[in-house]
Chain A
Amino acid sequence: MSFGTDERLHKSLGSKLLNLIKENSVPIMFIIICAISIPLSGFSISYLINEIITRMGRNIFLILSLLIPIMAGMGLNFGMTLGAMAGQIALIFVSDWQIWGIPGIVLAMIVSIPISILLGLLCGKILNNAKGREMITSYIISFFTNGLYQLVVLYMMGPIIPIAHSSIKLPRGYGIRNTVSLLNMRQSLDNLLAVKIGTVKIPVLTFLIIGLLCLFIIWFRKTKLGQDMRAVGQDMNVARDAGIKVERTRLISIVMSTVLASFGMIIYLQNMGNIATYSSHSQIGMFCIAALLVGGASVDKATIGNVFLGVILFHTMFIVAPSAGAAITGDSMIGEYFRVFVSYGVITIALIMYETKKRKMKSREGKLLELAQREEEKAN
């Protein structure tokens, strides 16, 4: 073996490593933030592991619902909030009917399906009219639908939609209270088949459901529909020429995402044990998207691995930031604001990286086209 090849090998290894760091800069940054703030926060490791496993069970299903629209090239689905609202409405009904425990959760999921399909169709139809601006549009849709949600839950539940129990109704006689207790349903999914290792509780059933969804997504990618979605995501015009119904495919991807998000929200809320009727859903989209991006996903590419890594890193940061901030500056509010800032900052950076990459690709395509044309001219 000569010295030269060895050096070349070394160089390519170095550049490979550099590339690896470049491509995963966001997760690496988060690992560093977590590594610094964990010791500063003063939490014990077993407490942290317990918290993170709880939060994994709580959030992963919701975040997985984001993957399908990304596959179809529709970017980060800020409209997943719609699914969350559908899940909440279903849970309000079920708790009014006083059906608790696992049957309640299953029933809530069944009730949420028609609502979320309806909302998903609405969202998908609008997004098909706003191609190229899906993200900002889905973001505004989530606000718009929040208005409709409030109209239904705050005014129509009671006089128009029958709600029997005064425990969830506002004292004025119509509308739902600010919090709806799910005490009889609380963690019934998590506690069934739960395994305790030391002080760490592992909600096996929840993880099994998550695992099933992961398998479903892996399988779905290989189906005809999944392939179509990827084709649409790559290039809409090419896909249309190939005979794929682009609008329909996009619509289906949004509906699927919305339905999955409503299931995810039900899993999330059964873990929390109560619904904050007017605020639970409002932040959920932002946190899920931030977590996904922290895991190394981008606007046009996200894997199941990104979801798991993202949840672990993002929520570690979320747990330790306030007390770490208090340890550094003496003010716990700074840590609170810091984690909010980081959530938004990560999304901003990911969006910027995606757009610059898209522009670079475009200009490269343009250059290639120019080159081809010039060569053609020469040949002539």
Chain B
Amino acid sequence: MNEQITSERRMYRGAVQNAIKTFGIPRLIIAAFLLTLFIAAPLVGADFATQLTNTINRFSWNAILVLAMVPMIHSGCGLNFGLPLGIISGLLGGTLSIEFGFTGAMSFFMAIIIATPFAIIFGAAYGWLLNKIKGGEMMIATYVGFSSVSFMCIMWLLLPYKSPNMVWGLSGNGLRTTISVEGFYDKVLANFLQINLGKLSIPLGTLLFFALIAFLMWAFLHTKTGTSMTAVGSNPAFAKAAGVNVDKVRLLSVLLSTWLGAVGILVYQQGFGFIQLYMAPFYMALPAVSAILIGGASVNKASIANVVIGTFLFQGIVTMTPTVMNSMIHMDMSEVIRIIVSNGMILYALTRKMEG
């Protein structure tokens, strides 16, 4: 009898240990941290509904940028540190759509349409390059992102944009560093089907848009091409033997990631209200990378659930820490905590052994 109990207990303990192992200790700490923040928020006088609204809002802005990580992780290209390339396609789409005089919801739609060919061209070149340097993707992706951002800094000044909404007022040429999208696609998704419950407001339109794209992503991963992508990621030699064109599948995944980056930044802009140019896209890959890792992804494994959980946890911490910390100890340490948490998570993932 006693023995049975101890063996049961041992089994139970084993199961818990396993669960912790698969979930990962850092993730556990982060989730616990966020939970404490949510509990502490009302105690220190921060309004819970406002906090939740902010978190959900920021979730809706960022989710697609995080989703852009998924295809490349699936095909074994690693974490997409080259996200700025996709973001640049989105910036080109957004600014050109305004330049061509589209307004309202139409400008958002056109921005996506215009961004697509750029994403395809950039993504194809980027994918071709990554096929040349298999094994060293992440470092080169980082620097492809950096050099393209700094190259576009020159281009934003030189390209012949004329719209008075965007260029510097005095000289009349060169784009401004931040451009308001008011009157264009400001909150087009967020105001669509917005739910207001007292202080709590939920941008259902943006969430639905994300759900749609996430569903398409999920469906794609279950098609024949999608499964071959997963196969390439988990075992390239096997995939090759099974007759999959590895390079082609990888290229497709990079294209998808780049395009999602473009759409992601447009969705971000419609929520945020501004287009940020020049050096702004520079470090935008890091939050997205750490968000998906916090959600439970690894360097070569990721699911839609990882995206949702990760974005929520990451954005939760980003929005909650300043207010809670400020009212608790009158010190705004949120920035420092954000840096340590997000980069610590990336480090944790990089030092894990590759599975498969």
- A residues adjacent to B (C-beta < 8 A): 126, 129-130, 132-133, 135-137, 139-141, 143-144, 146-148, 150-151, 154-155, 329, 331, 333-334, 337-338, 340-341, 343-345, 347-348, 351-352, 354-356, 358-359
Contact = CB atoms under 8 A, between A and B. Distances in A.
Given A143-B286, A147-B336, A341-B153, A137 B135 contact: no
A143 B340 CA distance: 8
A344 B150 contact: yes
Nearest to B289: A140
Contacts of A356: 132-133
Given A155-B336, A334-B158, A337-B153, 18 more contacts: A126-B347, A130-B351, A141-B347, A144-B339, A147-B336, A147-B337, A147-B344, A150-B335, A151-B340, A341-B150, A341-B153, A344-B147, A344-B150, A345-B151, A348-B143, A352-B129, A355-B136, A359-B135
11 contacts: A136-B81, A137-B350, A140-B343, A143-B339, A147-B336, A329-B158, A331-B174, A333-B157, A341-B151, A351-B136, A352-B140
B144 A150 contact: no
Given A341-B151, A351-B143, A129 B351 contact: yes
B142 interface: yes
B142 A139 contact: yes
A141 B143 CA distance: 16
A136 B351 CA distance: 11
A355 B131 CA distance: 11
Interface in B292-317: none
B134 A147 contact: no
Contact of B350 (A130, A340, A359): A130
Contacts of A147: 336-337, 339-340, 343-344
Contacts of B140: 348, 351-352, 355
Contacts of A144: 339-340, 343-344, 346-347
B146 interface: yes
B314 to A, nearest CB: 15
A337 B351 contact: no
Contacts of A351: 136, 139-140, 143
Contacts of A348: 140, 143-144, 146-147
B138 interface: yes
Nearest to A154: B336
B177 to A, nearest CB: 11
Q: Per DSSP, are chain B's interface residues mostly helix, strand or loop, or mixed?
A: helix
Contacts of B138: 133, 136
Contacts of B121: none
Interface in B318-356: 331, 333, 335-337, 339-340, 343-344, 346-347, 350-351
A358 B136 contact: yes
Nearest to A330: B171
B343 A143 contact: yes
Interface string B147-167: 100110110011000000000
Nearest to A175: B331
Contacts of B157: 331, 333-334, 337
Nearest to B299: A133
Contacts of A129: 351
Contact of A345 (B147, B337, B347): B147
Contact of B339 (A150, A345, A347): A150
Nearest to B335: A150
Interface string B105-144: 0000000000000000000000001001111101110111
A123 to B, nearest CB: 10
Which residue of B139, B174, B286, B340 has the most chain A CB atoms within 10 A of its CB atom?
B139
A132 B134 CA distance: 12
A159 to B, nearest CB: 10
B336 A150 contact: yes
Nearest to A127: B351
Contact of A355 (B133, B154, B158, B343): B133
Given A130-B351, A348-B144, A355 B331 contact: no
